[in-house]
Structure formats: structure tokens, C-alpha cells
Structure 1
Amino acid sequence: MRYSICSWTFGNTPIEKVFNIVSAKGYKHIDLQAKVDDYNWQEINHLARENSLNINGLLCDSGWPEEEKDLANKNIVNRQKAVDYFKRQVECVKVVEGNYLVVVPSAVGKFHTMGGNKSEDLKWAIESVAKLTDMAKEHDITLVIEPINRYESCIVNNSDDVLHVVKEVNHPNVKALLDTYHMNIEEVDMEEAFLKLKDWVEVVHFADSNRRGVGRGHINFQKIVHAMKKIGFDKNVVFECLAPGPHPFNAEKGEETERIMSMYAEESLDKLKTWFS
């Protein structure tokens, strides 16, 4: 099992300090957001390794309302621009020697469809993801499709949706992600979701029902851990929560962000290691 943590959850904390904090808390892996032009990726990889960290994967940069980053955009020109930008993100994963790119098929923050119905938007998204598979295969990188709750994205919200996407794309380099925070909103049975996706789930994001650290909400994690053990999951477990505060798309919650996230990172990792030991 690889235990990782998402760097973006530390808000405005400089990336060098984030690396230092999470390494000191016992992490060996870290996930970054694929903001392609924000970093010199070779230098970032070197800096991570100086802190005894491997960059496990990157989270896609696809924030709404930037339509040129939306793989399910109604405008074919925008969709192709999004595909081209995602190819650059795949290249960044390769540079940092990562294993995967997390892909949200419809831009994060876009909570309305653009076509006549959800099926039309899904068709556009699936076509766009399929255009990334050759590059993913060439670089031995997995495209990991993440369902996000209906308040944050509009077409891939639950385990049924992500299963539909991976089956339609039908490529060995396309897998699925489950996130306990989003599952708590969207799934009827969280344990069943793992059983349903047992052949496809590549990454699991952990956060509690209030998106705080593990154990600080009401999710029954013992059932989730049981389901993960039942399917023999031993891949990528990633801690992705937020300090309390408004704005779900901005991790910066004020001067206490760094302290709170450092605390969540430590106590959540301890729990995960105990549960999966």
C-alpha cells in the first residue's frame, strides 16, 4: 500500500514547506495538482526526493469556468484544447516519475450540463478521455477517473457513473478512483461501491463526511476498510481533506490552515496504518 497526501490541501503554504511537513509526519509519497505552468517539474521532482518523497501522481487541473480545460465542453474547439492541455499534464506525470493522472471528466466546479441531457455530456467526456489513452500507454501512466459529488461537478458523480466511463473507454490505462467524502454524499452503500469497482479501482481518497481529517466526521471507515480488504486493494491511498472554512475549491482557510492540515495529516496517517496493518 502506498500512503500519499495531496499537497494542494495545505492552501498557500509554499510547496517546499509542504514537502518538509509531510515528510516529517511519516509520508513517503505525495500527490500534486497538475498546474502545468506553475512549476519546473524536474526541479519539483528533485525537491521532493530531497525530502525523501516520491510524487505518486498528479491531480488534473480542470477548474471551471475555464472552458478550455473542460473535457466535456459543448464546444468542440474547447474540448480539443482541453485534450491538448491534459496531454501536457500527462507529460508532467512522466517528468516527475509518477504513476497516474487523476482525471475529472467534467470541469471541477461545473455543476450543470451543457448538452440536451447528461448522456450527451458523458459522450463528449468519454471521447476526450479516449484521446488521451495512447499517450498514457506510451508513458505507462494510468488515467484515473474520479467521481465528484453533484455540487462540484455534473456528470460523473458516483460509482455507477465512473464504471460506465471506464467500461466505455475500455482501455487498460484507464481506471477509477473512489473518494470517501464524495461517496458519503452520493453512494447508497459505500461498501457496495468498492465491490462494484473491484477490478478498476486504482486510487482511494480519504476524508471524513465534513471533509476534515479521518475520524473527525461520521463516516464508518471500518466498513470501508473491510470492503477494501475484501477486494484485495493494496494500491494508492491518498489523504485529501481540507481545514474547516468556506469555498470548497480553495484550500486556503486562513492563518490556521497549515497547523490544522499538519495535525490532520499526522493523525489520519496513524489511523490508516493501524487499519491496514
Structure 2
Amino acid sequence: MRYSICSWTFGNIPIEKVFDRVSAAGYKHIDMQALVNDYNWKEVKQLAKDYSIEINGLLCDSGWPIEEHDLANTNRVNRKLAVDYFKRQIECVKMVEGNYLIVVPSAVGKYSLLGNKKSEDWKWAIESVCNLTETAKENGITLVIEPINRYESCIVNNSDDLLNFVMEVNHPNVKGLLDTYHMNIEESNVKEAFLKLKDWIEVVHFADSNRQGLGRGQIDFEKIVSVMKEIEFDKTVVLECMAPGTNPFNADKGEETVQIMSIYAKESLVRLKEWFN
């Protein structure tokens, strides 16, 4: 089992300081946001090695309202631009020797459909992801589809959506992700969600019901860990919690963000190791 943590949750601090905090908390792995133009990725790769940290993968950069980053955009030109941008993100994963790019089929923050019905937006998203599969295959990268709750995105919100999506794309380089925070909102039966997706799950994101550190909310993690052991999941678990505050799309919650996240990182890693080891 690989225990990782999302770099973006530490807010607006230099990536070197993130690596320092993550390393100090005991992590050997990290997931970064695929901000293609913000980093010299070769330097990031070396910096991670300096801190004895492995970059497992990148989280897609697809924040709404940038329509040119939206794989399910109603405008064909925008979808083409989004596909081209995602191809660059895949190449960045390769540069840092990562394994996957986490893909949200509809831009993060876009919670309303652009088409007349869901089937239209769904078709656009499927088409776009299918246009990414060859690049993913050439680079040896897995596209990991993430369901996000209805208040933060549309199209793929729950495990049923995820299963239907990956099966329709039907490509060996396309897998899925489950996130305990989003599942707490969208799933009626968490165990069933894991069981039906057991052959597709590549990554699991962990955060509590209030999106804080593990044990600071109401999620029954023992039940989740139990079913993960039942399906023999042994890939990547990623802590993706946030410091308390408004705006789920901005991790920076003020001056104490880094301090709070450092505490969450340490105590959550202890819990993960206790549960899985």
C-alpha cells in the first residue's frame, strides 16, 4: 500500500515547502496538481527526490470557469483545447515518473449541465476521454476517473456513474477512483460501491465527512477499510483533506492553513497505518 497526500491542500506555498512538510509528516509519496505552466517539471522531479518523495501522479487542472479546460464543454473548439491541455498534463506525469493522471470528466466547480440533458454532456466527456487514451497508452499513464459530488461537479458524481463511464470508454489505461468525502454525500451503500468497482479502482482518496483530517468527522472508516481489505486493494491511498473554512475550491484558508494541514497529515498517516497494517 502506498500512502500519499495531495500537495494542493497546503494552500499557496512554494512546492519545496510542501515537500518539506510532507516529508516531515512521514510521507514517502505525494500527488500534485497538474498545473502545466506553473512548474519546471524536471526540477520538481529532482526536488522530490531530494526529499526522498515519490510523485505518484497528478490531479488534473480543470477548474471552472475556464471553458478551454473542460472536457465536457458544449463548444467543440473548447473541448479540443481541453483535450490538448490534458495531453500536456499526461506528458507532465511522465516527466515526473508518475503513474496516473486523475481526471474529472466535467470541470471542477461546474455543477450545472451545459447541454439540454445529461446524455449530451456525458457524450462530450466520453468523446474527450477517448481522445486521451492513445496519449496515455504511449506514455504508460493511467487515466483515473474521479466522481465528485453534485455540488462541485456534474456528470460523474457517484459509483454508478463511474462504473458506467469507465465501461463505456472501455480502455485498459482508464480506471477509477473513490473518495470517502464525496461518497459520504453521494453513496447510499459505501460497501456496495467498493465491491462493484473492485476491478476498476486505482486510487482511493481519504478525508472525513467535514473534509478534515481522518477521525475529525463522522465517517465510519473501519467499515471502509474492511471492504478495501476484502477486495484486496493494495494500490494508492491519498489523503485529500482541507483546513476548515469556506470555498471548497480554494485550499488556502488563511495564515494557519499550513500548520493545520501539517497536523492533519501526521495524525491521518498514523491512523491509515493502524487501519491497514
Pick the TM interval, shorter chain. Answer: over 0.9
> Deviation string for 1:45-95 (max 9, x for gaps)?
100110000000000000000000000000000000000000000000000
- Mapping of residues 31-46 of structure 1, within 5 Å: 31-46=31-46
Offset of residue 168 of structure 1:
0.3
Provide the secondary structure at the position in 1 that maps to 2:229: helix
Aligned residue number for residue 206 of structure 2: 206
Aligned residue number for residue 87 of structure 1: 87
Aligned residue number for residue 260 of structure 1: 260
- Mapping of residues 30-179 of structure 1, within 5 Å: 30-179=30-179
Q: Percent identity?
A: 74
State the alpha-carbon separation in 2 of the partners of residues 123 and 199 from structure 1. 24
Aligned residue number for residue 188 of structure 2: 188
- Mapping of residues 222-241 of structure 1, within 5 Å: 222-241=222-241
- TM-score relative to the length of structure 2: 0.99
> Please, which runs of 5 or more residues in structure 1 have no aligned partner?
none
Aligned residue number for residue 23 of structure 1: 23
Moved over 3 A (4+): none
Provide the secondary structure at the position in 2 that maps to 1:37: coil
State the alpha-carbon separation in 1 of the partners of residues 266 and 234 from structure 2. 21
Offset of residue 212 of structure 1:
0.1
Offset of residue 156 of structure 1:
0.5
Alignment partner of 1:3 is 2:13? no
Offset of residue 116 of structure 1:
1.3
- TM-score relative to the length of structure 1: 0.99
Offset of residue 24 of structure 1:
1.3
> Deviation string for 1:12-66 (max 9, x for gaps)?
1221111011111110000000010000000001001100000000000000000
> Which amino acid is 2:146 matched to?
E
State the alpha-carbon separation in 2 of the partners of residues 140 and 247 from structure 1. 35
Provide the secondary structure at the position in 2 that maps to 1:57: strand
Offset of residue 241 of structure 1:
0.4
> Deviation string for 1:85-122 (max 9, x for gaps)?
00000000000000000000000000100111111101
Provide the secondary structure at the position in 1 that maps to 2:37: helix
Offset of residue 192 of structure 1:
0.9
Provide the secondary structure at the position in 2 that maps to 1:194: helix
State the alpha-carbon separation in 1 of the partners of residues 113 and 169 from structure 2. 20
> Deviation string for 1:210-261 (max 9, x for gaps)?
0000000000000100110011100010000000001100000001101100
> Which amino acid is 2:201 matched to?
V
| Equivalent residues, number | 277
State the alpha-carbon separation in 2 of the partners of residues 195 and 207 from structure 1. 20
> Which amino acid is 2:164 matched to?
H
> Please, which runs of 5 or more residues in structure 2 have no aligned partner?
none
- Mapping of residues 263-274 of structure 1, within 5 Å: 263-274=263-274
State the alpha-carbon separation in 2 of the partners of residues 8 and 21 from structure 1. 12
> Which amino acid is 1:153 matched to?
S
Aligned residue number for residue 244 of structure 1: 244
Offset of residue 179 of structure 1:
0.4
